[in-house]
Chains A and B, each alone.
Chain A
Amino acid sequence: MIDLIHDYWLYFLVGRYPDGPLGGLALTVLLASLALVLSLPLGLLLGLARISPWCALRWPVACLIQLVRGVPLLLVIFWAYFFLPSLTGHESGQFGTMLAALVAFDAIYLAEIVRAGVQAVPKGQFEAARSLGLGYVSTMRAIILPQALRHMLPSLVNQFVSTIKETSLGYIIGLSEVSFIASQINGLVLTKPVQVYFLLGLTYFILCFSLSRAAFWLERRQARILKAAA
Chain B
Amino acid sequence: MFDPQVLLSGDYRDWLLAGLQMSLLLMGMTLLLALPLACVVAMLRLAPSRLLNAVGMLYIELIRNVPLLAHFLFWYFAAPELLPQQWKEQLYAGNIEATSAVVALTLYTAAYMAEDIRSGIRAIPVQQFEAGRALGFSYLQTMRLCILPQALRLAAPPLLSQTLNLWQNTSIATVIGVAELMYQTQRVETASFRSVEAFAFASAAYLAISLLIAGVAFLLQKRLAR
Contact = CB atoms under 8 A, between A and B. Distances in A.
A169 interface: yes
A205 to B, nearest CB: 5
A168 B61 contact: no
Interface string B159-173: 000000000110110
Contacts of A73: 168
B172 A169 contact: yes
A201 B74 contact: yes
Contact of A197 (B73, B175, B182): B73
B210 interface: yes
Nearest to B80: A193
Contacts of B211: 70
B78 A204 contact: no
B78 A70 contact: no
B202 interface: yes
Given A71-B207, A200-B70, A209 B61 contact: yes
Interface stretch (A75-83, A114-122, A222-230): A75-83
B175 A161 contact: no
Contacts of A82: 195, 199
B5 interface: no
Nearest to B75: A197
A73 B214 CA distance: 18
A208 B66 contact: yes
A71 B70 contact: no
Interface residues of A, number: 36
Contacts of B68: 165, 168
Contact of A72 (B82, B169, B195): B169
A220 interface: no
Centre residue among A72, A79, A83, A208 by max chain B CB count within 10 A: A72
Given A72-B206, A168-B69, A198 B74 contact: yes
A132 interface: no
A179 B74 contact: no
B65 interface: yes
A171 B175 contact: yes
Nearest to A78: B199
B84 interface: no
Centre residue among A73, A74, A166 by max chain B CB count within 10 A: A74
A186 B74 CA distance: 11
Contact of A74 (B61, B71, B77, B182): B182
Interface in B68-115: 68-71, 73-74, 77-79, 81-82
Contacts of B82: 194
Given A69-B210, A197-B78, A205-B62, A168 B203 contact: no
Interface of B: 61-62, 65-71, 73-74, 77-79, 81-82, 168-169, 171-172, 174-175, 182, 185-186, 195, 199, 202-203, 206-207, 210-211, 214
26 contacts: A70-B214, A71-B207, A74-B171, A75-B202, A78-B185, A79-B203, A161-B65, A164-B67, A165-B66, A165-B67, A166-B67, A168-B69, A169-B172, A171-B69, A171-B175, A172-B174, A179-B73, A183-B73, A193-B81, A194-B78, A197-B73, A198-B74, A200-B74, A201-B71, A204-B66, A205-B65
